[in-house]
Amino acid sequence: MMSAGGLAALYAFVVRPWHLRWGATDAEVEMTLPCDALVEHPQLNATHAITIDALPSKVWPWLAQMGQTRGGFYSYDWLENLVGCPMQNADRIHPEWQGLNVGDEVWLHPNAPPLRVLAIERGRYIALEKCWTFYLRPVDDNHTRLIIRGRGDYYPDFKNALLNFIYFRLIFEPAHFVMERKMLLGIKERAETLCLSCDRPDLDGERIKSLSNYIVAIGAEGGSRTRTPFQGTNFKSVASAIPPPRRLIRNSNCTKFFRFLKHP
């Protein structure tokens, strides 16, 4: 079995460097983001990123409504609730939570001071107090990179090197990574689902026309019983021509519709 020293070395030289830059490219780790200058020599510095199959405009609303008192953080709400932080992650866009401005407060925990919005450019980035930045970088016409960076000093500072090391290196950093990784995945899922439910760009015109004609045929057959050119068509074969939707939000009409298509 690996010794304690071997495990410590494995974490220090392999695991920790990996999770501090999970998903991020070299260029993204090196790039300057808003509010980086607030902490020139950070003792804590992590950059995480993910590719989302959606335009920045489809991702932005999920960022704008973040917060414990708003749309949540799209992470493990059961863990947040476990530590006394009532959290309910939104599965839809709330128009009443979209007006985020500089100086507004974003709550993380009901018993902890909120983070103020230090800088914001709609559709591009949000920079929160404590140097926590959410940045959207368009890749092409269909993809966006979401980059999240956290930079800071030890807070609270225990004024003890060993205690600071144990708490921040061995507890805070891994826990922060686990929650932030899930946040990235949660935002990705929601933004991609929004695109699928709104415009379905992966369906070409012929597939849409075939499906709509068949639905019209079903209506005609069920109402007047008038025979149509589509009667006798195998519905499953029509449904199979449609690419399966990726992770649809629970309990939405869109979810029920595509389940119906695939399982008539």
Calpha distance 184→153 (Å, rounded): 23
Nearest to 35 by CA among 126, 100, 99: 126
Over residues 105-125, the pLDDT tens digits come to 999 999 889 999 999 999 999
CATH number reported for the structural domain that contains residue 102 in this entry: 3.30.530.20
> Does residue 12 have a pLDDT over 50?
yes
Residue 68 lies in a domain: yes
How do residues 131-169 score in pLDDT, each as one tens digit? 999 999 999 999 999 999 999 888 878 888 999 999 999
What local confidence, expressed as pLDDT, does residue 153 receive?
87
The number of domains in the chain is 2
> Do 131 and 218 fall within a single domain?
no
Query: Are 188 and 241 in a shared domain?
Result: no
Structural domain contains residue 163: yes
Q: Are residues 174 and 104 in the same domain?
A: yes
Q: Are residues 190 and 108 in the same domain?
A: yes
Q: Based on the domain organization, do 170 and 65 belong to the same domain? A: yes
Q: Do 164 and 33 touch, CB atoms closer than 8 A? A: no
Strand-pair partners of 50: 146
Read off the pLDDT of each residue in 227-237 and give the average, rounded to a whole number: 46
Q: What's the pLDDT score for residue 253?
A: 47
Indicate if the pLDDT at residue 203 is higher than 70: no
Is the same domain home to 32 and 68? yes
176 with 241, same domain: the answer is no
Average pLDDT across the chain, whole number: 81
* Stated pTM of the model: 0.74
Domain holding 217, by residue range, is 205-262
pLDDT value for 1: 60
CA atoms of 186 and 245, how far apart (whole Å):
16
Q: Which residue has the tokens 């990705």?
A: 188
Same domain, 131 and 155: yes
- At 47-88, the pLDDT tens digits run 999 999 999 999 999 999 999 999 999 999 999 888 888 899
Q: Where among 198, 232, 249 does a domain terminate?
A: 198
